[in-house]
Amino acid sequence: MTANHPDDVFLTTEEVLEYLQVNLRTVYRLIKAGKIPAVRVGRQWRFRKVDLDAWLDGQRTAPTSDAVSVSGDCRQRVLVVDDEEGIRDLLARTLALAEYEVDTTADGLSALESIRNDGYSLMFADLRMPGMDGLTLIREVKQINPHLPIIIITGYSSESSAIEAVNLGVSGYLTKPVGIPQVLAAAAKALGVTAA
């Protein structure tokens, strides 16, 4: 085994915070729960990058049978609707790290089908998408499930669309670029979860 082998790349706790874009408390919670593999070296933790990447990929494609948190409670299901793949991936990774079960879709019509067929606790939706826009999607979703919390994400914030979204009963309104703390805080608030 050579030190230069890609599987032997280890990250420090600080590097993991930067790599996963999470806070220290979240990293320790994930270690304690056995969610991310870590090796104790003296008083420090070390993480193999290849293990972190495998864990992140598993979070994106985890089957529902694995969707049980450490405490035994079923994880909250979240649907992310955005035509930008980068935003979908960022939100999916972020929410998966906070132990939400995440599905993503690129358009409003697919989102409506998912809402009709699957039970979700929360939906993130982009305002501007080709085909069905976010405001139309919200109106349709509210007819299917009037109690589903919805958080709007947009790069084109306008006062009129914000007011209309609020009037439609959205639970939150985020502007791009979104930061991980804002996403997690908005999700917790929309679901009535108090931050630990």
Residues 41 and 83 in one domain: no
Closest CA to 178 of 148, 157, 149, 150: 157
CATH, residue 12: 1.10.1660
Residues 53 and 134 in one domain: no
Q: Are the C-beta atoms of 60 and 71 separated by less than 8 Å?
A: no
The count of domains in the chain is 2
Place of tokens 């994930």: 30
Closest CA to 179 of 103, 99, 58, 87: 87
**Per residue in 123-172, pLDDT tens?**
999 988 889 989 999 999 999 999 999 999 887 666 677 778 878 889 98
**Per residue in 89-114, pLDDT tens?**
889 988 988 889 999 999 999 999 99
Query: Which of 38, 60, 82 lies at the terminal end of a domain, its last residue?
Result: 60
Enclosing domain of residue 37: 8-60
Q: Name the pTM for this structure.
A: 0.63
Tokens for 55? Answer: 């864990």
